[in-house]
Amino acid sequence: MEPLLEVAHLRVRFKTKSAVKALIEKDKDPYIDGVMGVSFAIEPGRTYGLVGESGSGKTTVARAIMGLVPVHSGTIRFNGENLVGLSRDRIKPFRRDIALMFQDPAGSLSPRLKIRSILAEPFRIHGMMPENLSVEVARLLKMVNLSPSMGDLYPHQLSGGQARRVGVARALALSPKLIIADEPTAGLDVSVQGEILNLMAQLQNDMGLSFLIITHNLAVVRHVSDHVAIMYLGRFLEQGPTQTVFHHMRHPYTQALLSAHASPDPDAVHHRISISGEIPGLVSRPQGCEFHTRCPGVREKCRRQFPPREDAGKDHRYYCHYPLSVPEN
């Protein structure tokens, strides 16, 4: 099937100093790399999971797709059309088709607006005011299983789960084709987390929506996404169909992340692949394979050169000189 969104060799760089300062300091490359050439595609009606620790560049990828950060190189094709380099006016229509669900549900709702006004904003911004706004607001609230009377409340009167639902309703306002959900379950209790994810799955079934879910919660990704990419310092170290990546992972970082999400069993013998240290900053990007500073299986070659891309099967790729062996069966 023709993908809805196709990102190829996306690279995002951020300037670290002014041109004058760079000239004075004779710094020929006053940039840091936020995203180092990632490629992936989302088919209509599918969910893509983007997993990584803080500072790995997940949100930057999302912002690049929305045209909120300048893209250095690469292409972002939405329905076949390249969004990179489009002017503000030309990109605006695409923003109707791509909606964002923000990370902090309460913080992303203006405290001074009633829910009804918050839900009307997308229509206003895109000059698409419906004839009967209150009917439209009631319809959106109903879609996310909230009562229409909630339109009269202010955000502080909502619980965390309800605020999250309003975030979903706002994303749905202009009937988008793709929703980018940044940490849709962060800060929610497990019982409420399921409600939000089930709502998203329901909407996907009913409306054929595609999702790009950004999260650090692997347990969630395993259930909701069809494909998954493991991100580290701006690169996809491993990507592929969720089942393949979870059961036949080849990259040691994937294995370490997975083992950090053991199931709660006091008697389980934890075969935890402990990785030491923390994700290095983008400014001090390590030479060679970026993961070598924390990798339990690091060897000389890893310190010198970044590994080439390896294809392990349909859509399954990774970057590692010494990949994990494929488990039997």
Partner 1 sequence: MAEPVLDIRNLSVNYLTPRGTVKALRRINLQVPSAKVVGLVGESGCGKSTLISAVIRLMAENARVAAGEIRFTGKDMQQLSSRDLRAIRGRDMSMVFQDPMTALNPVFTVGRQMKDIQYRDAVSGKEKLKRASDMLSLVGIPDAVSRLDNYPHHFSGGMRQRITIAMALLVQPKLLIADEPTTALDATLEVQIIRLLKDLQADFQCAILFISHHLNVIAELCDFVGVMYAGELVEKGSVRDIFHRPGHPYTRALLECDPSVIAEPTRFLPTIPGEIPSLIDLPEGCIFHDRCPGAAQVCKNTPPPEVSLAEHHTAACHCLEV
Among the residue ranges 5-13, 97-105, 264-272, 313-321, the one whose residues contact partner 1 (CB under 8 A): 264-272
DSSP reduced 3-state for 161: helix
Q: Does an H or E element contain 41, and which? A: strand 31-42
Question: Considering the rule CB under 8 A, would residue 125 count as an interface residue with partner 1?
Answer: no
> How many Cα atoms within 13 Å fall on the side-chain side of residue 298?
19
Sequence-distant (≥ 6) Cβ neighbours of residue 64 within 8 angstroms: 10, 12, 35, 71, 76
Min CB(320)–partner 1 separation in Å: 17
Q: Which is nearer to partner 1, 101 or 220 (CB)?
A: 220
Cα 70 to Cα 75, 165, 214: the distances in Å are 12, 30, 20
Question: Considering the rule CB under 8 A, would residue 153 count as an interface residue with partner 1?
Answer: no
Site for partner 1 in 18-77 (CB under 8 A): 53-54
Among the residue ranges 105-113, 175-183, 256-264, 296-304, the one whose residues contact partner 1 (CB under 8 A): 256-264
Cα 147 to Cα 152, 205, 289: the distances in Å are 11, 22, 52
Question: Considering the rule CB under 8 A, would residue 190 count as an interface residue with partner 1?
Answer: yes
Residue spans of alpha helices (H) in 144-215:
160-172, 190-207
CA–CA separation, 41 vs 63, rounded Å?
16
> How many Cα atoms within 13 Å fall on the side-chain side of residue 92?
10
Give the residue, chosen from 71, 169, 237, 257, that forms a contact with partner 1 under the rule CB under 8 A.
257
Question: Considering the rule CB under 8 A, would residue 298 count as an interface residue with partner 1?
Answer: no
CA–CA separation, 143 vs 309, rounded Å?
43
Q: Which is nearer to partner 1, 29 or 206 (CB)?
A: 206
Instruction: Tell me the backbone φ, ψ of residue 55, rounded to 5 degrees.
Output: 85, 10
CA–CA separation, 126 vs 284, rounded Å?
41
Question: Considering the rule CB under 8 A, would residue 264 count as an interface residue with partner 1?
Answer: yes
Give the residue, chosen from 91, 133, 153, 279, that forms a contact with partner 1 under the rule CB under 8 A.
279
Q: Which is nearer to partner 1, 216 or 250 (CB)?
A: 216
The residue count for binding partner 1 (CB under 8 A) is 43
Q: Are 250 and 320 in contact (CB under 8 A)?
A: yes
Question: Considering the rule CB under 8 A, would residue 104 count as an interface residue with partner 1?
Answer: no
Give the residue, chosen from 160, 286, 288, 323, that forms a contact with partner 1 under the rule CB under 8 A.
160
Question: Considering the rule CB under 8 A, would residue 207 count as an interface residue with partner 1?
Answer: no
Question: Considering the rule CB under 8 A, would residue 263 count as an interface residue with partner 1?
Answer: yes
Give the residue, chosen from 96, 114, 126, 222, that forms a contact with partner 1 under the rule CB under 8 A.
222
Q: Which residues bind partner 1 (CB under 8 A)?
A: 53-54, 159-160, 189-195, 197-198, 201, 216-220, 222-224, 242-243, 256-257, 259-268, 270, 272, 274-276, 278-279
